A and B are shown apart, each in its own frame.
Chain A
Amino acid sequence: MSAISREDVAHLAQLAHIEMSDAELDKMTGELGVIVDSIASVSEAASADIPATTHPIALSNVFREDVVGTTLTAEEALMNAPDSVDTRFKVPAILDGE
């Protein structure tokens, strides 16, 4: 594993919704290559019989009573919105075109 190409980085940037210039892609490709090489050793440590730990201190069935708690008002929820109409967030067009 390793060998992360410029095309890979361009694709990842697209997946992560971060626009990148050509210069940024070049720089990021070099830096990520070094980082990915250095972290490759983890797979050598992890044999099949070792269980994965997803949570440092596992808790299960964290429930609460089904009662209404404190929630934000519409005004509070919208107070930082870049754009809103009435009680809703206003989202740019999903599709290109008319």
Chain B
Amino acid sequence: MNEIIHLSATELAAKLRAGEITSVAAVQAHLDRIAEVDGGERGVNAFLHVNTEEALAVAAEVDAIRAAGGADAQALHPFAGVPIAIKDLIVTKGQPTTAASKMLEGWMSPYDATVIEKIRAAKLPMLGKTNLDEFAMGSSTEHSAYGPTRNPWDLDRIPGGSGGGSAAAVAAFEAPLALGTDTGGSIRQPGAVTGTVGVKPTYGGVSRYGAIAMASSLDQIGPVTRTVLDSAYLHELIGGHDAADSTSLNEPVPALIAAAEQGASGDMTGVRVGVIKELQGEGYEAGVQARFDESLEALRAAGAEIVEVSCPNFKYALGAYYLIMPSEVSSNLAKFDGVRFGTRVLPAEGPLTIERVMGATRAAGFGDEVKRRIILGTYALSAGYYDAYYGSAQKVRTLIQRDFDAAFAQADVLISPTSPTVAFELGSKTDDPLAMYLNDVATIPANMAGIPGITVPGGLSEGLPVGIQFLAPAREDARLYRAGAALEKLLEDKWGGRLIDQAPELSAATTGGVS
């Protein structure tokens, strides 16, 4: 296998700056990898669109600037020339944005998301757009209208969701970096089941302008990478205030790279780590619990003070989430009406009124899970039910915030398994929406409270990755990078290398792709 694609983004960036590798070579290596493992009959299917021409052009531009030297070369972002993949929920000029829905098949955004403007300014070549559950609704990427993504660790299993494409692309060495979005765990749960790193920043820490809205009080864009330090670099690049997003925090981005570098010493002396009593035990697979317990031991041995914290209202979090999220979904997706953009479907018979065109368009354009959530949200917001459902759910949100406040009075960071199970088999939960929803039980509380979370690889159970989640108070994202990098270092010392290097070798032979 080409060694360029095995480098972390930070390692690749250093080689680009030193002139050991050109950006064109780096982009081409990843494009070759995509051609080899993504498209075959049993391909990973992480990409919905591959942006070959533009990616190579940006790479060539970076190479030319570096070759010329001088002030322009000095002014380049440290990651200039490092390729990145973009979740197809984030709008991009010049590439289609579909949200993995038939509703937006072939849709071309007339504007760039703010995070895309930042990536263009830093000259990171965009490899393409990654697969997801339709409109980011799901935990397995099986609700994509363009076929599921496969988990690179086992091609018969799910890569998590909704951002399964971004996580699988990074895990399969098709990209060193990717962007995801996290409404209830859509960055962290795919990170956990693919053995990669994913961060949900503090709500408002990264602009959401140009992320197609699912549930606006919960959505957050964040980094998807193979190492904690890579996430820190990407997070600092995309973070910061944006006047185009009225929920954006008008505060400087914290020093995340420095925190990750501090954590990489492995020293956790004086750091109080709170184990959330309610996010372990029953419902968590034995193998997941075992890796979690080992991580706690490693942190304790490195000087961390392990304390137990209780968040009694977390038992209501999933229920409250499945009221608030669909309510916001039903409102946000009302704009897909077949008039201004997207698909328009005419009714098979009868008069062509706007109401009937809308009904036919939304029937054909949306998949089952999207319809379920729109109907559920319409129900929760309807007269007679509003107080009992939506109103109560918002009160539960207050209770969850209070639980976190109490927990963070005792601990600097909190820790739990990221997902209660390892990756399950494709198709095994598609007929049971409730079982699917339970995948996000450990990740949802952070979205409800707006606090940041990270998942780092915690080892294997039955040959499949387990994720460990850290949570920090709002605006304290740096603590995640310190603790995450420390655990990464401690476990890699034990394993003798990165977990992702234990993944089975993918090739054109295993995926049916082009060799």
**How far apart sit A53 and B390, CA to CA, in the bound complex (Å)?**
11
Asked whether B212 is an interface residue with its Cβ less than 8 Å from the other chain, the reply is no
Given A13-B375, A41-B316, A53-B398, is A91 in contact with B217 using a C-beta cutoff of 8 Å?
A: no
Task: Please provide the chain A residues from 53 to 98 with a CB less than 8 Å away from any CB of chain B in the complex.
Answer: 53-57, 59, 62, 64, 72, 76-77, 79-83, 89, 91-97
Number of A-B contacts (CB under 8 A): 182
Asked whether B149 is an interface residue with its Cβ less than 8 Å from the other chain, the reply is no
User: Is the pair A93, B396 in contact by a Cβ cutoff of 8 Å?
Assistant: no
**How far apart sit A91 and B357, CA to CA, in the bound complex (Å)?**
10
User: Is the pair B375, A80 in contact by a Cβ cutoff of 8 Å?
Assistant: no
User: Is the pair A82, B343 in contact by a Cβ cutoff of 8 Å?
Assistant: yes
User: Is the pair A57, B399 in contact by a Cβ cutoff of 8 Å?
Assistant: no
Size category of the A interface is 35 or more
Central interface residue in A16, A81, A83, by most chain B CB within 10 Å: A16
Per-position 1/0 for B395-424, Cβ under 8 A of A: 111110100000000000000000000000
Task: Please provide the chain B residues from 208 to 234 with a CB less than 8 Å away from any CB of chain A in the complex.
Answer: 217-218
CB of A70 to closest CB in B, whole Å: 8
CB of B474 to closest CB in A, whole Å: 6
Closest to A75 in B: B110
Closest to A21 in B: B363
User: Is the pair B110, A18 in contact by a Cβ cutoff of 8 Å?
Assistant: no
Per-position 1/0 for B47-60, Cβ under 8 A of A: 00000000000000
Asked whether A7 is an interface residue with its Cβ less than 8 Å from the other chain, the reply is no
Task: Please provide the chain A residues from 25 to 45 with a CB less than 8 Å away from any CB of chain B in the complex.
Answer: 28, 31-32, 34-36, 38-43, 45
Task: Please provide the chain B residues from 349 to 374 with a CB less than 8 Å away from any CB of chain A in the complex.
Answer: 351-360, 362-363, 366, 371-372, 374
Among B138-146, B258-266, B294-302, B319-327, the one that faces the other chain is B319-327
Interface residues of B (CB under 8 A from A): 107-108, 110-111, 202-204, 217-218, 243, 246-247, 249, 313, 315-316, 318-320, 322-323, 330, 334, 337-344, 347, 351-360, 362-363, 366, 371-372, 374-376, 378-379, 382, 385, 388-389, 391-399, 401, 433-434, 437, 447-451, 474
Q: Which 7 pairs of residues, A with B, have the shortest CB-CB distance?
A: A56-B450, A82-B344, A52-B394, A46-B395, A76-B110, A46-B392, A39-B319
